[in-house]
């Protein structure tokens, strides 16, 4: 099976961790007989930090994709973001090729909903990363990205702290943002800071400190996660956040706003909490519960049973590919 993977997120020499989750998921398909070719529209390194900085790159990619599809044959096209879906749509490739779109954003958000509805007729299947009302639509299916269970494993916390030269007497709370090229306000670092302040002042956890992970080499990510007492996500919106899966696979508990598929993902996992609202007060209450919890956390086994391992997702994805090819 020959599949063209169209993406706007993929590792580069300048940013080797950019879109690494996408690369790992694509690579997991190879042992299952999928021959992958990557078409990467790299708008992330053109005028980083400026709104629309990569728009010209993506516009040029429309014509590059047209030419590429004329010269090569593929059984299936898989687009891995809303923008890559738009590139493919404008190229006219949907007229002649069977295709799948992985809709990374929230299809119920106003702007994203308009894009979702516009792209829906052009694809044979659309994958969403969170439970949504659109699952009632015939072509929509729910399939979050998988997590590499061989790479994200529990490690000794004190040894990880020592490797990062952290204070062994401190309890660290992890903040994650994978994108170093622009400030992503939806990640809400301000809310994270305010939450930790409340945790210290109201709940008396004076030994709590932040550990910020931005632009860290891939090999160091499990070490950062395992050095922490918990991972706190304070975002306004997400799809299926990889850092939540990765932390739980490392047996590090999580506290999160109710974004993306976090509530579904962490349901029935004792020691993980999703706030009832987006306030720092509510998040601090949840963080306090984790810090006071004396029961050893073991969310890893539960998350694997839920099918969030990268190989489980790869098998489901290949089944979906075959279903589309039979249409």
What was the pLDDT predicted at 217? Answer: 87
Q: For residues 93 and 87, is the Cβ–Cβ distance under 8 A?
A: no
Q: For the segment 269-285, what is each residue's pLDDT rounded down to a tens digit?
A: 999 999 999 999 999 99
CATH of the domain at 187: 3.40.50.2000
Beta strands at 140-142 and 125-128: parallel, antiparallel or unpaired: parallel
Are 13 and 141 part of one and the same domain? yes
The yes-or-no verdict on residue 61 having pLDDT over 60 is yes
In a domain, 233, yes or no: yes
What was the pLDDT predicted at 179? Answer: 58
Q: How confident is the model at residue 76 (pLDDT cuts 50, 70, 90)?
A: very high
Q: How confident is the model at residue 47 (pLDDT cuts 50, 70, 90)?
A: low
Q: How confident is the model at residue 110 (pLDDT cuts 50, 70, 90)?
A: confident
In a domain, 151, yes or no: no
Are 9 and 141 part of one and the same domain? yes
Q: For the segment 143-186, what is each residue's pLDDT rounded down to a tens digit?
A: 999 999 999 999 999 999 999 999 999 999 999 986 554 455 67
In a domain, 234, yes or no: yes
Are 180 and 301 part of one and the same domain? yes
What was the pLDDT predicted at 259? Answer: 92
**Average confidence (pLDDT) over 225-252:** 95
**Average confidence (pLDDT) over 292-321:** 94
The yes-or-no verdict on residue 250 having pLDDT over 70 is yes
- Which residues does residue 38 pair with via DSSP β-bridges, in sequence order? 5
**Average confidence (pLDDT) over 37-50:** 75
Q: Is 243 helix (H, G, I), strand (E, B) or coil?
A: helix
Sequence-ordered list of residues with C-beta below 8 angstroms from that of 89, at least 6 positions apart, any chain: 118, 119, 122
Q: At what angle do helices 55-71 and 82-91 cross, to 10 degrees?
A: 50
**Average confidence (pLDDT) over 16-42:** 93
The yes-or-no verdict on residue 46 having pLDDT over 90 is no
Rounded to the nearest 10 degrees, how much is the dihedral formed by the CA atoms of 47, 82, 143, 16? -20
Range of the domain at 83: 2-146+309-325
In a domain, 98, yes or no: yes
Q: How confident is the model at residue 228 (pLDDT cuts 50, 70, 90)?
A: very high
What was the pLDDT predicted at 53? Answer: 54
Are 207 and 262 part of one and the same domain? yes
Are 299 and 314 part of one and the same domain? no
- pTM (whole model) above 0.75: yes
The rounded mean pLDDT for the chain is 92
Domain tally for the chain? Answer: 2
In a domain, 254, yes or no: yes
Are 164 and 295 part of one and the same domain? yes
């Amino acid at each position: 099976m020959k599949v063209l993977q169209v993406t706007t997120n993929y590792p580069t020499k300048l940013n080797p961790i950019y879109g690494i989750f996408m690369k790992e998921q694509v690579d997991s398909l190879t042992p299952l007989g999928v021959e992958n070719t990557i078409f990467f529209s790299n708008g992330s390194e053109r005028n980083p930090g400026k709104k629309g900085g990569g728009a010209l790159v993506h516009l040029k990619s429309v014509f590059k994709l047209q030419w590429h599809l004329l010269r090569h044959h593929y059984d299936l096209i898989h687009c891995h973001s809303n923008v890559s879906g738009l590139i493919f749509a404008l190229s006219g490739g949907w007229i002649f090729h069977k295709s799948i779109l992985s809709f990374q954003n929230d299809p119920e958000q106003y702007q994203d909903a308009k894009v979702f509805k516009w792209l829906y007729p052009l694809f044979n299947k659309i994958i969403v990363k969170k439970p949504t009302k659109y699952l009632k639509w015939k072509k929509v299916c729910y399939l979050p990205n998988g997590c590499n269970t061989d790479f994200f494993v529990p490690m000794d916390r004190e040894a990880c702290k020592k490797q990062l030269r952290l204070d062994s007497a401190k309890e660290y709370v992890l903040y994650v943002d994978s994108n170093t090229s622009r400030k992503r306000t939806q990640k809400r670092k301000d809310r994270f800071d305010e939450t930790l302040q409340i945790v210290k002042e109201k709940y008396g956890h004076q030994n709590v400190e932040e550990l910020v992970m931005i632009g860290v080499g891939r090999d160091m990510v499990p070490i950062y996660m395992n050095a922490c007492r918990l991972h706190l996500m304070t975002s306004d919106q997400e799809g299926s956040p990889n850092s939540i899966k990765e932390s739980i696979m490392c047996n590090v508990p999580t506290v999160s706003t109710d974004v993306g598929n976090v509530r579904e993902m962490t349901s029935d996992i004792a020691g993980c909490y999703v706030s009832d609202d987006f306030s720092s007060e509510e998040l601090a209450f949840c963080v306090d519960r984790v810090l006071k919890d004396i029961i050893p956390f073991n969310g890893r086994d539960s998350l694997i049973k839920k099918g969030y391992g990268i190989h489980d997702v790869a098998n489901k994805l290949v089944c979906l590919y075959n279903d589309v090819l039979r249409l």
